[in-house]
Amino acid sequence: MTVTTALNVPELMAKACAKTGLSDFGDDWFREPLDVLVTSLNTEAALSPLGFELTRHRLTALLADRLRLRALQRQHPAVLEQEVRVAAEICGLPRTGSTLLHRLLSASPQVTSTLSWEVAYPIPFPGEGPDAAVRKRRAQERMEMFAQLSPDFGDLHTVVWDGPEEDVLLLDRTFVSMSYDSFYWVPSYGDWLRSADQSKAYAELREWLQVLQWQNPGRDRPWVLKSPHHLTAVGTVFDTFPSCKIVMTHRSPVNAVPSYASMVRAMSSQYSESVDPVRIGRYWSRRFAKTLQDFASAREAHPGRFVDVRFADTVSKPVEVARQVLDALGLPAGPADDAAFEAYLAQNRTERHGSHSYTPADFGLSEDQLRRDFAFYSEVYL
């Protein structure tokens, strides 16, 4: 069953203003991605009644955060004076070991990373103390609700409310984000995203990192961030964060593409009762092939700014890989790093890990087709 009520951008913006008592969204460049997204949601996503309400609430909350960001910058100009140093963006196809590598590196006392609760609620609530207790509680509640809506998701991707999380969730507030075609069937939005100039979105990502640093004066370490989204904007990443390197994780697309299709199916099922796994598989197979083809030319334009890591190595010798990556970032690992890595791995072993089974055929794919379509990539990196 689908809803007949449509999302409406002016109405969403009005709701955000009413919710916050604010009215200044700043530069309205974000209207184009938001308009494209909402049109795609209304015409393609087949939202269920619950999916419609969740999406309307989510978009309103993201718009409210845009209002709060501008208000915070006006009230505290020092936010905009924060120096943001990004040491690395970890990216690669999803399901290539990037999450394990990110969480392992984030344990190092030499770096910092975005945490799950703060990408969900990056701005302090009125009257909230420095311990961010209200936001942390809400993040826990939100994670519990998500687990109920997508009970299989935890078997695919372990989420910890106070652990490292992808910075793409900050980009969600720009409406320029891979999150949207991962959670919804919005192929026209995905097509738009792949050809869009993302420079203003990344400029705002930098502003969000300033907000997080400003809240914690001791957080003056370089950032290690992570998201597959960054494969779509390598040049923009380098322009925005001049000292950043791309740490690219590699795994056979024969494994990675169906695995991500399985994750997308689990995520999108909470928003729509009309989820077609074959359509999902073929969409992401085409999209990732094109992304990696475009990435090759972007990499040629920026030699010396890439660190390559193979999935099998991350799994079999994680501490050694983490040390190698830190060295490549100009942050040589020492005893404190080694101790932090071992502590994280011990914690990681205690976290719940489920299993899920799938085949490429479940998503309209075949191993032979995936090998052919991604041969240009596999022959170089695997």
Burial class (CB in 10 A: 0-12, 13-18, 19+), 24: exposed
pLDDT tens digits for range 278-337: 999 999 999 999 999 998 888 999 989 999 999 999 999 999 999 999 999 999 999 999
- Tell me the mean pLDDT in the region 78-92: 97
| Domains identified in the chain and CATH numbers | 85-381 (3.40.50.300)
Residue 351: predicted pLDDT: 67
Please, which residues bridge with residue 225 across strands? 89
Whether residue 196 contacts residue 60, with contact meaning beta carbons closer than 8 Å, is answered with: no
pLDDT tens digits for range 4-34: 579 999 999 999 999 999 999 999 999 999 9
Q: Is the pLDDT of residue 236 over 90?
A: yes
Report the percent of the chain where pLDDT is more than 70.
95
pLDDT tens digits for range 104-122: 999 999 999 999 999 999 9
Name residue, tokens 């690219």: 248
Strands 306-310 and 245-250: parallel
Name residue, tokens 């006392």: 109
- Tell me the mean pLDDT in the region 248-253: 96
Cα-based torsion angle of the residue sequence 231, 236, 241, 247 in order, rounded to the nearest 10 degrees:
20
pLDDT tens digits for range 142-175: 888 877 766 665 555 567 888 999 999 999 999 9
Joined together, the tokens standing for residue 10 give 């002016």
DSSP-assigned states of every residue in 132-154: -HHHHHHHHHHHHHHHHH-TTHH
Residue 364: predicted pLDDT: 97
Gap between the Cα atoms of 39 and 82, Å rounded: 36
- Tell me the mean pLDDT in the region 231-243: 96
> Chain-wide mean pLDDT for the chain?
93
pLDDT tens digits for range 321-375: 999 999 999 999 999 999 999 999 998 887 655 566 789 999 999 999 999 999 9
Question: What stretches of the chain show up as alpha helix (H) in DSSP?
Answer: 9-20, 31-44, 49-75, 98-106, 116-120, 133-149, 153-156, 168-171, 179-183, 187-195, 199-215, 234-240, 253-268, 277-300, 311-316, 318-328, 335-350, 367-373, 375-381
Q: Is the pLDDT of residue 1 over 60?
A: no
Q: In what order do the strands lie in the sheet with 86-92?
A: 223-226, 86-92, 245-250, 306-310
Whether residue 119 contacts residue 258, with contact meaning beta carbons closer than 8 Å, is answered with: no
Name residue, tokens 């990004």: 86
Gap between the Cα atoms of 280 and 364, Å rounded: 9
How many C-beta atoms lie closer than 10 Å to residue 44's C-beta?
17
Which of the 8 DSSP states describes residue 250?
E
Whether residue 314 contacts residue 249, with contact meaning beta carbons closer than 8 Å, is answered with: yes
Q: What is the model's pTM?
A: 0.94
**3-class SS string, 325-377:** HHHHCCCCCCHHHHHHHHHHHHHHHHCCCCCCCCCHHHHCCCHHHHHHHCHHH
Please, which residues bridge with residue 340 across strands? none
Name residue, tokens 């919710």: 19
Gap between the Cα atoms of 103 and 345, Å rounded: 9
How crowded is the C-beta side of 52, counted as CA atoms within 13 Å? 15
What's the distance, CA 373 to chain centroid?
25
* Higher-pLDDT residue of 266, 39: 39
Report the percent of the chain where pLDDT is more than 90.
85
